[in-house]
Each structure stands twice: as structure tokens, then as C-alpha cells.
């Protein structure tokens, strides 16, 4: 079993919010993550919901700003929030930009040097982290969901669509819905995956869902603020909407008048997302 280091733990809504780290084989270095363990976990394993944060965020951002613990406690859900990239991997240029490198792993497995040794967030999330969580916390391995914001919304959609047996529910706040078509995605995918744009489609939720919707008809929940400063240039929810319509994938896309890209928006609609996942995972 992989050893973990405990950095701090805090009583929260009858449960506990903790911050941890471990050596990651996938990322070939240290990785940090946070866990909220609900009070129901004292009686046995509980469903687990993974949250993937956006650009520049850390494992702390969601636990501090998301307002999710109270709702998770009500429904008996464990929350797990990994960091958004490796840290201090000594990759040349990793700290030069806010939207690439440190804090911007984009939840892909990099194939390009010098990123391919450490920037393997997709494998970390879909293979390694669930085993670490299951080995140290009372999480039900058969009842996991995933959601996220912006870059993390992109990651959540991709991870769920490509791993429907691992993640039984999915939702997103203001996801980068078509990263192969927007500046954030083009920059990250060129750096991590190289110049072959066809290879990028493996990490584009709109491209994936067009050919491979969920076979069981499960619904995707998305909330998008209409005052989001990144809406038109970087997010393109209409592309995801069109792709889901083409493939018959159920999608609830809530366009929220007056809301922006911030955690004020996320915390406002957090309860809706927790209920969405609880309904799928509590059975």
C-alpha cells in the first residue's frame, strides 16, 4: 500500500477535512490531495466524489471555497480534491506561464518531452489516486463520481466518458467543453501532446461524446454562467450541447444569467451538483 503523509486535519460538519500527500508512480514525484470524510464514514464505507479544479488552483481551493462539505455531510459523500498538476518536478519552463505547466496539468497524459515523465494526470486520476484513496479512507470503490470546474470540468467530462465503469456520475461547472478549438486547449495540447491535432481529440469531451455517449443513458449536468468572462473564447458549451444532441447523450445544460467564472457561482449551485451525484451513487 502506498504511504501517505498527513499535513493537517480539521473537524467539519461532523466529519473531517484533511490535506495529504504521497509519492505518485504515475507522476514520478510527490502529489498532494485533500479529502472530506463525512460523519457517515464512521459506520462503514461511503460513496466518493472526485473534484477536479481549474487553472492555477491547488488541492486546497475547492475545500476552502466550494462550500461542498455541508452538502456532502447531508448525503454521506466523501469528497476528494487532487492538486491540478505535479509540483516542483524541475521540468524546464514549468513555472513560466499560469495556463501551462505548474497548476495547469489539463488532466492528460503528456507524450512530449520534457513533460511526459511527470505530467500524467489522466493516469494519476483514473488509476492511481482511486487506489490510494481506497487504501487509506473508507471509500466505496463501486460508487465513485467526478466533477470539476473550467479546466477541471474538461477533465471530469473526459475521465467519466472514457471510464464509465469507474465514474458512475459526472457534472461540471463552466467546463472547457471543446479544448481542441480554444486557445487554452491549443496551448496545453501542443505542449503536452505535440502537433498532431487528431491525437488531441482523445482528450476533448465534445469529440468523445459524439462517438461514445454513455451506454446506460446517464445524464451529464453542466452549469454555465452567462456573465463568464471566458464563455465565448475558451469554454464553448454550445459545442458540447450539439455533440450530445447528435449522439443522443442526455445533457442538462443550465445557463445561469448574471453568474461568472468564479467560486461565487460554483458555491451557489454546489448543492444541485451534490444532489445529482448522490442520486446516482447512493443506490
Alpha helix stretches (DSSP H) within 125-196: 129-136, 151-162, 183-193
| 147 vs 55: CA distance, rounded Å | 15
* 228 a catalytic residue: yes
Which residues, in sequence order, are bridge partners of residue 139?
Answer: 46
Can you tell me the distance from the alpha carbon of 102 to that of 115, in angstroms, rounded to the nearest whole number? 11
- In the set 12, 24, 85, 150, the catalytic residue is 150
Contact 148, 175 (CB under 8 A): yes
Cell of 278: 448522490
Is 141 in a helix, a strand, or coil?
strand
Catalytic residue selected from 83, 228, 273, 276: 228
Residue 261 annotated in active site: yes
DSSP 218: P
Q: Which three cell numbers stand for residue 236?
A: 464553448
The three three-digit cell numbers of residue 40, written as one number:
457517515
Q: How many helices (H) and strands (E) does the chain have?
A: 10, 9
261, 273, 276, 277: the active-site residue: 261
| Rounded-to-integer distance, Cα 125 and Cα 191, Å | 20
| CB contact at 8 A, 168 and 281 | yes
Asked if 150 is an active-site residue, the reply is yes
Closest by Cα among 101, 86, 96 to 188: 101
Would you name the residues annotated as active-site residues?
150, 228, 261
Amino acid at each position: 500500500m502506498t504511504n501517505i503523509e498527513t499535513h493537517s486535519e480539521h473537524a467539519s460538519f461532523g466529519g473531517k477535512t484533511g490535506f495529504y500527500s504521497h509519492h505518485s508512480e504515475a507522476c514520478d514525484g510527490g502529489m498532494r490531495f485533500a479529502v472530506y470524510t463525512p460523519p457517515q464514514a464512521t459506520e462503514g464505507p461511503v460513496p466518493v466524489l472526485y473534484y477536479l479544479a481549474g487553472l492555477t488552483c491547488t488541492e486546497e481551493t475547492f475545500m476552502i471555497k466550494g462550500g461542498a462539505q455541508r452538502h456532502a455531510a447531508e448525503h454521506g459523500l466523501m469528497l476528494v480534491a487532487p492538486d491540478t498538476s505535479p509540483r516542483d518536478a524541475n521540468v524546464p519552463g514549468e513555472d513560466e506561464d499560469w495556463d501551462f505547466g505548474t497548476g495547469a496539468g489539463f488532466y492528460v497524459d503528456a507524450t512530449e518531452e520534457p513533460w511526459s515523465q511527470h505530467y500524467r494526470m489522466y493516469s494519476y486520476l483514473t488509476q492511481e489516486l482511486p487506489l490510494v484513496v481506497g487504501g487509506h479512507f473508507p471509500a466505496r470503490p463501486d460508487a465513485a463520481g467526478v466533477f470539476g470546474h473550467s479546466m477541471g470540468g474538461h477533465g471530469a467530462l473526459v475521465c467519466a466518458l472514457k471510464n464509465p465503469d469507474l465514474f458512475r456520475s459526472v457534472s461540471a461547472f463552466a467546463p472547457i467543453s471543446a479544448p481542441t478549438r480554444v486557445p487554452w486547449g491549443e496551448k496545453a495540447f501542443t505542449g503536452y501532446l505535440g502537433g498532431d491535432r487528431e491525437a488531441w481529440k482523445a482528450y476533448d469531451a465534445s469529440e468523445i461524446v459524439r462517438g461514445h455517449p454513455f451506454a446506460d443513458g446517464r445524464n451529464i449536468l453542466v452549469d454555465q454562467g452567462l456573465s463568464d468572462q471566458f464563455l465565448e473564447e475558451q469554454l464553448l458549451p454550445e459545442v458540447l450541447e450539439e455533440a450530445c444532441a447528435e449522439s443522443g447523450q442526455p445533457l442538462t445544460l443550465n445557463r445561469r444569467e448574471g453568474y461568472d467564472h468564479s467560486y461565487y457561482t460554483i458555491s451557489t449551485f454546489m448543492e444541485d451538483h451534490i444532489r445529482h451525484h448522490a442520486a446516482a451513487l447512493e443506490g
